[in-house]
Each structure stands twice: as structure tokens, then as C-alpha cells.
Structure 1
Amino acid sequence: MLKSGFYITAELKITNSNKISETVQCLKKLCEQTVLESGCTLFQLHQCLNDPTRLLLWERYNTEADYNYHFEQGYTKAYLSLNLTEVIQCFKSNIISND
């Protein structure tokens, strides 16, 4: 069953094609840390099959405040300071109920 919440789909581009492996490893670590946040239930990394420099993050937080809390964390700030990726698009969404 799908849960209501605050959903994010972020499309990322790796800024240096010589650092694909390093970037993926850093993002995998960020995923492991983020999903431990009390308000986060999904933080999953996907890589485009046709272009390994294109990534998607699927994220689910209980609330928008939980999403904002994620960006206050030291590990999130440390990842962002590496400038390994740029955000191409970011979608905030809700689940549409069948009710």
C-alpha cells in the first residue's frame, strides 16, 4: 500500500564524467545515512542505463519539514560541498488516492 507523505524525484547530472564511480559511491553512502533519519522512509539512487552520468534520487519523507531537516545534516552538507552533481530537475509530488 502506498503511503501519503512528501515525495521528491530529483534528476542529477554528474559534473565530471571521470568521477562516475566516486560519485556513485558517495551517493550510496548518503543514501545509507539519509534513510536513517527519523522522517525519511525512502532515499534510493537510480542510474540511467543509457547515460551513466545521469542519476535519479527517489525520496519519501513524512513531511516537508523532514525534507528540510535532511539539508541541515552534516553528511548532506559534506556531500553537497563536493560538487559532484548538479540538479537538473526536482519534482515534489503527492500520491493520488483511488478514494
Structure 2
Amino acid sequence: MYVEPFGKPRLMVSRTDDDRILVKNYGVCESLEIRDFLYAGNREVIIEVANDGEGSFLCEIEAEPCKWLKLEMSSREVKDQEILKLICCLGSSGELSGGKSG
């Protein structure tokens, strides 16, 4: 058996702690719902953004301004794989890291 990459760039997204993989070929994108930050103690989620095809694509993360959430990647050219970290900036008492929330 011989496996070749998809003939053009193809977006694949997954969490590092889950086997589920979202693939974008065409049409409407699948959603990756992240509920981790609803629970105390969850500080970071790591997402793998990969290209399962040939070439590369520009990955841009768009989000409403949010004081308690930090994205370590907002825009990057993806040739093989990139890592996106979502980091909760709230302290254990509900304060923003380095100051009070609100």
C-alpha cells in the first residue's frame, strides 16, 4: 500500500488529549467546543493545527477580546503542524493574573 498526501492543503484540528480529529475539506467547518475553563483548576488546552496535504495554508484565529484568555498563536503559516495553546489567565480566586478582574 502506498499513501500519498492530499493533493492540496487540508486543515486538520485536534486536541492533544483527545483522539477526535476535525478535518476541513470543503463546506461548513466542524466545531471544537472547549468547556475546560468552566471548571476550577483547568488552566491550559493544547490544540494541534495540522496540514494533511501538500503545500501550506494560513491559519488565523479570530476571537472577541477576552481578558481572561490568552492565545499563544493568532496567525501562522501551517506547512506540517503547529501548536495552539489556550491559557486561562484567571487566578484561583477569579482574579486576572497580575491584578483584579472586573
TM-score range, shorter chain: 0.3 to 0.5
TM-score by length of 1: 0.33
TM-score by length of 2: 0.32
Tell which structure's C-alpha radius of gyration is larger.
2
- Structure number with greater CO (CA < 8 Å, separation at least 6) is 1
